[in-house]
Amino acid sequence: MNLGTLFSGPDMATILMPEWILLLGIVAMILVPNLGNATFRLPIPGTSIRIPYLIGGKRFSVTGDPRVPAAIAAFTLFASFITALLSQILDSGVGMAEACVTMNGLVQDCTSDGTHILRVDAFSRLMEMIFTGALLLALIANWDRLPATPHHRIPLKPEEDEIKETRRLFRLLNNRRQVDFALLVLMVALGMCTVALSTNLFILFVGLELASMASYVLIAFNKETQAGPEAGVKYFIVGSVASAIGLYGISMLYIWNGDLAIYGSGGLAAKWAAEGPNGLATIGLGMMLVAFGFKVSAVPFHFAAPDAYSGASGPVAGVLATASKAMGFVALMRVLIGITLADDGSDWTILIGAIAAITMTWGNIAALGSRNPKRMLAYSSVAHAGYILAGIAAIGALGPGDGSQLIATAIMFHLAVLVTFKLGAFLVIALLECEGRGYELEHYHGLARRDPLIAISMLIFMLALAGVPPLAGFLSKLMMVSGIISSTVGDVSGSSLSEAMGSLSWVFWLAILIFINSAISLFYYLRICVVMFYDEPDRNLRLSRAPMLRIAIMLCTMGAVVFGFGVLADVLASAAADAATALFS
Amino acid sequence: MITFLGNPLTVLTLLPITGALLLMLVHWMADDEKREMLANPIRYVNLGIALLMLLMATLIGLEETFGLAWGEYLYQNCEVGAVSTGSCTLISSIGVSWHVGIDALSFPMVWLTTLLIPITMVVEWEAKKDGPDRAYFHSLILMMEGALIGVFVSLDLFVFYVFWELTLIPMFFLILLWGGSDRRYAAQKFFIYTFTASVFMLAGILVMYFNNDASWVGNITGKSFDFILMETSTNFIASEGLRSVVFLLMLIGFATKMPSVPVHTWLPDAHVEAPTAGSMLLAGVMLKMGAYGFLRLGVTLFPDQVIQFQTLLLVLGMVSLVYGAVVCLGQINLKRMVAYSSVSHMGLIFLGVATLQPLGIAGAIFMMFAHGIISPLLFAVCGSFKHHYHTLEIDSMRGLAHSSPWMSAHMMVGWMGSLGLPLMAGFVAEVAILIAFYMTFGWWVVLPALTLIITAAYYLWSMQRTIFEGGGDVQLPPTMRDEEPRDITWHENTGMLILGALAVIYGIYPDFFGMFEMMSNWASLLVENVIYPPEVNP
């Protein structure tokens, strides 16, 4: 028996295994921490028969352990990640099985006719891995730092008395917020995976909102601080307005087509291909761009992002900058590429190109002026959104073909490796947050003296973000730019320099703009490197121990290095290429 | 004999990098007491690896004869056929392979690098810095060596670019942690400036990549970064206009690294603020990366564009030559003067290439080599001056010959070599370039020749003021306070003696170790096969 069939079998239970695991995890998360010795006395007079019903009462020592929620969530995410990974690895031998789920819960071959709402292919599997991987790292990072109040912190150095130490740690961790956090993370994961799978705008919107709502709460999770609730509420209000506009756009598409499925004979793509751009549909699509533009924090919908990032805790901000943004791009690619690319000349190309140019430039210039590293990373994340949007614009200019697939590969690769270095950088900030700092550049002074390993990790993250070889950020940026360039050099003609310059497509200048922007971005990335290695630290304490957080940082560092150069980069690039093929099929 | 460790070029590239990283790791893992103890052995191991590299490079030079046939790269780890079947691929999905090879253009640079690294280590044996970072100095230099050799031997443009940028990281830290007073500004400027220029080169490389068809390999893009494929391809970038675009994009990257005048402003800051070893390497090898890249990628792949943009190259070269020399005249800082003299000398390389004569190109390559020997000597002298007299001001010192005779002697050798005294290495290169210039452009040769007089003027003037003036008395700079003036240490002396001796040897006998012969062979093969291929000029 081929093991691959275990994960790609013909029924819902197996092909949606990662999602089932997440759902199971959520249920377990609600039940397990509440298990106790609650009993119910049978109302029979004269007897005292007590029937245990387990929910409530005094909790058992296992279920009362404050680390259980995080453990359950981590196990769930890990299992989900591994399932998605195995289904890809084992499946590659028997050919990529594409399976679609219809509205009434049947699993079909995707080529067969029918209204499909979910689609399992290389693309959605890779995205599931990105989402669950990023959330898993964030959860691990939160493992030993979730203070009951901002005044309780992880002890900086071990105390003599181990019992006292343990008791202190338990007092710190023993609060019900553990469950809330882990539960919200799992819900975000489920929502994101739904987005990755959906081929129906309604399902896509439901997944988007599930993830968004949970992430609004996660941002405001540090409710005792001043910045936390403000950030959460701001992000919530702006986000729900954007979602409402997006929903309005979806309704317009529904009026236009009468069906919200993207693919298939009655789908939006077929209708778009048959009738061409229609006023109603174009407006609807434009409105959806607002919703997704907010998710990827593209200019001019980016204003809430820096506040949200700086108000949220480090790992949560990292998730916002990686997984949440990847979700926005999945939605964007499904809609833009899925619906409109069937008709070659895409109207939105120039618009997306202009947004991309403004986004990357604005993000970089704003990042130059921010002294708070978290805001700086938020703006750099805006700039990265611009790079990816430039890739999408080039896909639009190019139409379906090999070049487009290369750009889509690059986007997928970029979203995957972004998890390593962007999230990693936020985790280093999280480590500084353990001592209540990290929100000013001065707090990074002399980090190399205080903790060389963390400083070198941060250096690697910064250089990777700037796109310095041989790190992962370089390879992803190179693939992106090479895709864009490939789309333009093919039809350059002319024997003189001026003729050749004239015949270059405008998309080529987007590639040059990416180069110029990555040069600008070096200023603020290098600033952090310089203060870490050059300036004197203002305190000589070691950084917090926080072992799990350090493990997460090290995983990110290794990822940023190995995905940049060598065999693993190749593996990831091929996976991204498969995903791109699946996206275009 | 030298292949017992595997491919010698792979070893030359990867051993220094891994060795340096391991040594840094060993030092970092040790606890505080052991760190003090380990610092010295680590220094010796670094030097040992560097000497081993020199031995290997020398053995390669002894064993092989370079420049016999065009397009012949020795010690390749995979043949072109192997590239196409993907047997030495690194990132197969986008067509990146680990492909190294060495020819008459790259061997002098590799040997120069392996020669200079131990010398810089010895010259700055006592890395002046307190604290635990001290032990990393020599490891960073060793890492630099691997990256530099990687640039010179890689025949895959992706790997080439990776090494090209990898040289920035050790140098950034050398300047940032061991540099002079304004090192923070200089390090950032150096990094950002050269990185920005290189991304334009990367854009050019990517256009080349997409025109380098390797569809039979079966990767995602169906293209390959392999240089040999580009070189041997018959229809590599068909459109002339696009070739010009690529050539200019590459030129931005190379001209900045060299540096040529409009884009040279990173160099004086970086050189002045860098530690002695850092500026020796910057001037000795890193500037040659630009010239090497220009010859390897610019001239070899785009000969028509070199002819088309001959005037541009001439203007760039001439302006760098004159501007660098004139600015030198006004410098009061010794190191800054030497830095601008590098700009001036690098201008000669563009002039040499622009002649499109075998002699001119050979002269340009020999200029790279000679400047790679002489300018480290100049910077070593400047460094020791700064070290012992705590200043770099030319005006503050008189009668150096009295207090530091050895330093004065080295200064004189270096200065004379750099201004092009006959029987010194620089003279050979200058004469070759000027003769070729005359052969191509006739009496326009007066312009560069006259500029060489300015060169002589600023060198002699600064030398006369610092070494001899003072009427027999030593006039110490105020920064000395009441210190007794000392001569250079024996470390510094050893390094400078070797460099000085080589400058003289290559002046008297340019063919020492086969250098000038292989360079002129390479240049004539280039002109015969590429610039004026047989069909056009029978």
CA angle B512, B513, B519 (to 5 degrees): 85
Q: Give the count of beta carbons closer than 10 Å to the beta carbon of residue A59.
A: 17
Chain A residues in contact with B200 (beta carbon < 8 A): 515
A523 touches B: beta carbon within 8 Å: yes
Per CB-CB distance under 8 Å, the chain B contacts of A482 are: 94, 206, 209-210, 221
pLDDT in tens, A334-393: 888 888 775 555 667 888 889 999 999 999 999 998 888 999 999 999 999 999 999 888
- Give the total number of structural domains in chain A: 1
Q: How far is A334 from chain B (nearest CA, A)?
A: 22
Domain assignment present for residue A38? The answer is no
pLDDT of A495 reads 65
The answer to the question of residue A566 being in a domain is: yes
Q: Spell out, as residue ranges, where chain B has pLDDT lower than 50.
A: 1, 537-538
d(CA B117, CA B144): 9
Residue A456, burial from CB neighbour count under 10 angstroms (0-12, 13-18, 19+): middle
- Are B162 and A494 in contact (CB < 8 Å)? no
Residue A542 has pLDDT above 80, yes or no: no
Looking at residue A334, its pLDDT comes to 86
Amino acid in position A204: L
Residue B93 touches chain A, beta carbons under 8 Å = yes
If you measure CA to CA, which chain B residue comes closest to A500?
Answer: B241
Give per-residue pLDDT as tens, A82-99. Answer: 988 888 777 654 444 577
Residue A96's pLDDT is 46
In three state form, how does the secondary structure of B393-429 look? ECCCCECHHHHCHHHHHHHHHHHHHHHCCCCCHHHHH
In our burial notation (b when 16+ CB lie closer than 10 A, e otherwise), range A64-76 reads: ebbebbbebbbeb
Cβ A511–B203 below 8 Å, yes or no?
yes
Q: Is the Cβ of A468 closer than 8 Å to some Cβ of chain B?
A: yes
d(CA B384, CA B410): 11
* DSSP letter (8 states) at residue A335: I
The two tokens of residue B388 are 């012992």
Has residue A471 been placed in a domain? yes
Contact A404, A398 (CB under 8 A): yes
Sign of CA dihedral A149, A154, A155, A160: positive
Q: Place A151 in a pLDDT band, splitting at 50, 70 and 90.
A: very low
In the Cβ-directed half-sphere of B162, how many Cα atoms lie within 13 Å? Answer: 28
Q: Do A500 and B221 touch (CB under 8 A)?
A: no
Interchain pair A475, B207: CB under 8 A = no
3-state secondary structure B157-198: HHHHHHHHHHCHHHHHHHHHHHCCCCHHHHHHHHHHHHHHHH
How far apart (Å, rounded) are the C-alpha atoms in residues A497 and A494?
8
DSSP per position, B514-530: GHHHHHHHHHHHHIIII
Instruction: Show residues of chain B in contact with A475, CB under 8 Å.
Output: 91
Can you read off the two tokens belonging to residue A560? 């940023």
Residues A253 and A246: their CA atoms lie apart, in Å, by 11
Mean pLDDT of A180-190: 92
What is the residue extent of each domain of chain B? Answer: 312-538
Average pLDDT over residues A497-506: 72
Which residues of A, range 103-142, sit inside 8 Å of B by Cβ? none
Please give the Cα distance from A253 to B446 (Å, whole number). 76
Q: Which of A360, A417, A468, A496 to mutate to test the interface with B (most CBs of B within 10 A)?
A: A468
DSSP H helices, A261-324, are 268-275, 279-295, 304-311, 314-319
**Torsion angle (degrees, nearest 10) of CA B6, B7, B12, B16:** -40
Q: Please count the residue pairs, one from chain A and one from chain B, whose beta carbons lie less than 8 angstroms apart.
A: 128
Tell me phi and psi for residue B515, to 5 degrees: -65, -55
Distances (CA, A) of A86 to A23, A96, A98: 19, 13, 15
Do B94 and A479 make contact, defined as CB atoms within 8 angstroms?
yes
Give the domain extent around A398: 344-585
| Interface ipTM | 0.88
Contact with chain A for residue B14, Cβ under 8 A: no
What DSSP assignment string belongs to B371-395? Answer: HHHHHHHHHHHHHHHHHHHS--BST
On the question of pLDDT at A513 being above 70, the answer is yes
Q: Which of B162, B222, B242 sits opposite A492 (nearest CB)?
A: B242
Give a three-class secondary structure readout of B18-39: HHHHHHHHHHHHCCHHHHHHHH
Q: Residue B82's pLDDT is what?
A: 57
Q: Which residues contact A85 (CB under 8 A, 6 or more apart)?
A: A129
Assess A401–B contact: CB distance below 8 Å, yes or no: no
Q: What backbone torsions phi and psi does residue B126 show, to the nearest 5 degrees? A: -95, 90
pLDDT of residue A363: 92
Q: Is A441 on the interface with B (CB under 8 A)?
A: no
